[in-house]
Structure 1
Amino acid sequence: MDTRVNALAEHLLLIERELRVQGWWQAEAPSAEALASAEPFCVDTLTFEQWLQWIFLPRMKALLESGGALPSVSGIQAMAEMVYQQQPSVARRLVELLGEFDRLLTRTP
């Protein structure tokens, strides 16, 4: 693995850790119907934290492990800032980690 892939993988672990630290990590998966939402970020069926845990993290891990093409653009930090605009201090570290993930993802190899 190249250093960029290693850095992205490390950030996925940091994002997971922060979800756990905040108490937002869930032991039980949402329903298959909720996970199958066609809306961006599953906004109609999942909380942002659920989307991170059950969709974003597994998909990004699978892409990194398979050596698949990574997205060239990411706006996950902007989405997090919108979600947490009423409570920015609670999610400050998560938003920072997502921003760094965005920057690593969009950096040319």
Structure 2
Amino acid sequence: MTTSTKLVELLYQLEAQLQKYELWQQTMPSPEALQSVEPFAIDTLDPHEWLQWIFIARMHALVESSQPLPRGFSIEPYFAEAWKQEPQYAELLNTIRTIDELCK
């Protein structure tokens, strides 16, 4: 299985988990919120919004256009900190960690 194929599976898994925990949104944030220059758009988006509208969307776009995938990122520590009071999100963190490891 290629890295891209595995990544797509993990992205769909992450989407399903966001839906399971009712974090998936039907309405996109404002264009201004999506244009934040802060890491994780921390000043304009909640963590789950960044996952849905920035990370998942961009990763799907890269795969669909056969562009090189980013390497060497680690987003799980941010989500572990952001959700430290949300133990029910452990499976989300596991999926995010797996994506980090896949894209080393």
Which whole-Å deviations, capped at 9, do the CAs of 1:79-102 have from their partners, x for residues lacking one? Answer: 111111122x21100000000011
- 3-state DSSP class of the match of 1:74? coil
Q: Which amino acid aligns with 1:37?
A: S
Q: Which amino acid aligns with 1:96?
A: N
| Identical aligned residues as a percent | 38
Superposed displacement of residue 70, structure 1: 1.2
Q: How many residues are paired up?
A: 104
Gaps of 5+ in 1: none
Partner of 1:83: 82
TM-score (norm 1): 0.91
Which whole-Å deviations, capped at 9, do the CAs of 1:35-89 have from their partners, x for residues lacking one? Answer: 11010100000000000111111100011111112111121111111111122x2
Partner of 1:39: 38
Partner of 2:103: 105
Partner of 1:55: 54
Rounded Cα–Cα distance in structure 2 between residues aligned with 1:11 and 1:74? 16
- 3-state DSSP class of the match of 1:73? coil
Q: Which amino acid aligns with 1:98?
A: I
Q: Which amino acid aligns with 2:22?
A: G
Gaps of 5+ in 2: none
Q: Which amino acid aligns with 2:48?
A: E
Partner of 1:93: 91
Which of structure 1's runs of 4+ aligned residues deviate more than 2 A?
A: none
- 3-state DSSP class of the match of 2:44? coil
Rounded Cα–Cα distance in structure 2 between residues aligned with 1:99 and 1:70? 16
